[in-house]
């Protein structure tokens, strides 16, 4: 079940370093791409960093709308993650081509991806120097949700859940690590 995550706990959805899907929409177009370079930047108000290459269609839609979404995919979505990270939505609709189901966010128009385990809705905090020079975007998280099967009370709990629901951590070339084993007990 999808449940809201308090904004001061939203950083925990990304703190373990998952590869994510970036959703975007503007001018009647929408898109999704994979991003491994995405991390929390601040607790409250929550902010995130994401690197979005200047050649991507995602970048064009983000710059036009000032918004984006982050969906955190699972091991079961590995092929989908590689696929949306391997071609551009500029010429075709990846959602139709790959039968990707989405749902609407509460605060932004960028689509959220079904079957993921966490979702953050973000508004770009404009920093033109970082964007132009380093492809680095800062987003303020304005809404967050997570799948209660693996995230509740502000914590991930992959142990005991279906292994297919674990998150993906990109190494290189489409190889990922799965996360989820607890080391230490201060959770
Ligand atoms: C696992 C994975 C991680 C990726 N991480 C990033 C990233 O952090 N930043 C980035 O700009 N591109 C990243 N990419 C590449 C984009 O997803 C890729 O360029 C995509 O085709 C852009 O799509 P678009 O033109 O439809 O926006 C990654 C690709 C994969 C497969």
Domain residue limits, the chain: 2-178
CB of 112 within 6 A of ligand 1: the answer is: no
d(CA 143, CA 33): 20
CB of 87 within 6 A of ligand 1: the answer is: yes
Q: Are 154 and 7 in contact (CB under 8 A)?
A: no
Task: Specify the fold of 2-178.
Answer: Pnp Oxidase; Chain A (2.30.110)
CB of 85 within 6 A of ligand 1: the answer is: yes
What average pLDDT does the structure give for the chain? 96
Quick one: average pLDDT of 144-155?
A: 96
68-102 tens-digit pLDDT: 999 999 999 999 999 999 999 999 999 999 999 99
d(CA 45, CA 164): 32
Ligand 1 atom nearest residue 24's Cα: 27
Q: Are 103 and 145 in contact (CB under 8 A)?
A: no
d(CA 43, CA 29): 32
pTM: 0.98
CB neighbours (10 Å) of residue 4?
10
Ligand 1 atom nearest residue 170's Cα: 1
CB of 177 within 6 A of ligand 1: the answer is: no
Query: Which one of 19, 31, 33 would you pick to mutate in the ligand 1 pocket, going by the greatest count of ligand atoms within 8 A of its CB?
Result: 33
7-49 tens-digit pLDDT: 999 999 999 999 999 999 999 999 999 999 999 999 989 999 9
């Amino acid at each position: 079940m999808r449940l809201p995550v308090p904004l001061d706990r939203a950083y925990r959805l990304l703190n373990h370093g998952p590869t994510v899907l970036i959703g975007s929409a503007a001018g009647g177009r929408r898109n999704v791409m994979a991003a491994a370079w995405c991390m929390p930047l601040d607790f409250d108000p929550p902010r995130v960093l994401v690197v979005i290459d200047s050649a991507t269609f995602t970048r064009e839609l983000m710059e036009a709308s000032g918004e984006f979404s982050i969906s955190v995919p699972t091991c079961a979505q590995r092929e989908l993650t590689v696929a949306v990270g391997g071609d551009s939505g500029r010429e075709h609709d990846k959602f139709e081509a790959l039968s990707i189901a989405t749902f609407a966010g509460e605060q932004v128009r960028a689509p959220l991806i079904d079957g993921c385990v966490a979702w953050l809705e973000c508004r770009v905090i404009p920093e033109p120097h970082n964007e132009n020079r380093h492809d680095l975007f800062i987003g303020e998280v304005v809404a967050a949700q997570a799948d209660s099967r693996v995230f509740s009370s502000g914590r991930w709990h992959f142990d005991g859940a279906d292994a297919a629901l674990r998150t993906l951590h990109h190494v290189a070339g489409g190889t990922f690590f799965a996360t989820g084993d607890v080391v230490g007990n201060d959770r």
